[in-house]
Amino acid sequence: MKLLRGRLLDFRDMPQSADDTAALTYIEDGALLLDGGRIVAAGAFDDIDARGAEVIDHRPHLLMAGFIDTHNHFPQMQVIGSYGAQLLDWLNTYTFPEEMKFVDPDHAARIATAYFDEMLRNGTTTPVAYCSVHPSSVEAYFTEAARRNIRAIGGKVLMDRNAPGGLLDTAQSGYDDSRALIEKWHGRGRAHYAITPRFAITSTPAQLEAAQALVAENPDCYMQTHLSENRDEIAYTMELYPEHSDYLGIYEHYGLLGQKALLGHSIHLSERERGVMRDTGSVAVFCPTSNLFIGSGLFDEGGMRREGVRIALATDIGGGTSYSMLRTMDEAYKVCQLQGQNLPPPLAFYMLTLGNARALGLEAEIGTLIAGSEADVVVLDARATPAMALRMETATTLAEELFVLQTLGDDRSVKQTYVAGEAML
């Protein structure tokens, strides 16, 4: 048993404003009792019976639920910071050549180790990853996650056209490989499988039919793909699928939408498409550092939320430029600012934790510090750098502290990350 002592911040619901304190629990001298990989008690330090527990004092730092990154590409760690291209050129010039390397299981294993190291250094305890087309990349991903007991979601990309030969499967082989990977990994320990047609451009209609079958046969699995990220991508997609009137209509036609559908980017959507997103409960995944870096556009966070579309937040490594969900939130704030929208700090930290857990339907397991939850916890220091410490001299409220963390914070603010009750740093 371990007892973590610190300032507890936990969300109960989505904060409606900067000072909506009903949505969160904050305890200045709080504690979490961890046992068997779970949080068994949470509350004021004085109220928790710590007999027999190892006490780890994290004061004055904040204890929050571990962060959740709902969309990234594990084979793109060496693509980050590739210069001067927008989406389709970026994929062809940098990304596809890099993903070819994952045919080599040793390379995949090495990058999987680096990937989970980096996630944990940044306080992310649950990632949702696209692996490469090669089943060996999925093996590497889930093997490394299991070794550290991380709740991880991922899947092999399905792609059978418009990419180099070394990156293509077929409708049949993609189906067979996905099925075998689902059987092996989905529900094993803390692993979840995501059926992953990369996007409509790299899948033939036959492959989307195969993805439809996989989704229908495995309703517990996630489905992840990309949607309406870039204007040229949309135009090319509509050329390839002329019988559909809009981009989302393609995924809709092939039965890919629903509560388990994670649609990366979802930037340039029509009213009809937003209505379908809402009505099907599909999740729009906001990837701000990527959208700015690749020059894709501004995600309409305020508008989609108002219309009742489910929203998640993600890094989109390696189109994204930071592994840190704090840096990601900083860029999300700026994307909202450019559209005259606001994103209050409590809402931001809700999104990184309970909000993303709800988007994945995993709020009973992760995303909160409630007793019974899995013990995935991040320890945050808002004075981690000289500049942050100086700024914190003038911060008087919790909301201000959170805003300093999201504006100036990064991996240096993460003092410890616990996964299923074990310290990882």
- Footprint of ligand GUN (CB under 6 A): 73, 87, 91, 95, 198-199, 226, 229, 290, 316, 319
Q: How far is 243 from 162, CA to CA, in rounded Å?
A: 19
Tokens at 315, concatenated: 């890094």
Greatest alpha-carbon span in the chain: 67
H or E stretch at 289 = helix 288-293
SS3 243: coil
Near Zn ion by CB under 5 A: residue from 135, 174, 197, 264 = 264
CB of 154 to Zn ion, least distance (A): 13
Under a CB-based contact definition with an 8 Å cutoff, are residues 136 and 108 in contact?
Answer: yes
Q: Closer to ligand GUN by CB, 197 or 345: give it.
A: 197
Q: How far is the CB of 134 from Zn ion (least distance, A)?
A: 17
Which of 207/289 has CB closer to Zn ion? Answer: 289
Of 264 and 344, the one with the shorter C-beta distance to Zn ion is: 264
Closest to ligand GUN by CB, 135 or 264: 264
We find the least distance from the C-beta atom of residue 46 to Zn ion, in angstroms, to be 46
Residue with smallest beta-carbon separation from ligand GUN: 319
67 binds, among ligand GUN, Zn ion, none (CB under 5 to 8 A by kind): none
Query: From Zn ion, ligand GUN, none, which one binds at residue 388 (CB under 5 to 8 Å depending on kind)?
Result: none
Residue 199 interacts, among ligand GUN, Zn ion, none and using kind-specific CB cut-offs from 5 to 8 Å, with: ligand GUN
Please report where in the chains the tokens 């809700």 appear, as a residue: 350
Binding footprint of Zn ion, residue count (CB under 5 A): 2
Complex with ligand GUN: residue 331 or 376, whichever CB lies closer? 331
Two structure tokens written together for 386: 């000289």
Residue 316 binds Zn ion, judged by CB under 5 A: yes
Using only C-alpha atoms, the chain has a radius of gyration, in whole angstroms, of 21
Query: Beta strand pairing status for 377-380 and 54-65?
Result: antiparallel
- Region 152-191 residues binding Zn ion, contact defined as CB under 5 A: none
390 burial type by CB count under 10 A (0-12 exposed, 13-18 middle, 19+ buried): exposed
d(C-alpha 352, C-alpha 126), whole Å: 11
Distance (Å, whole) CA 97 – CA 68: 28
- Both structure tokens of 108: 């995949």
Output the smallest distance, CB 132 to ligand GUN, in A: 10
Interface ranges with Zn ion (CB under 5 A): 264, 316
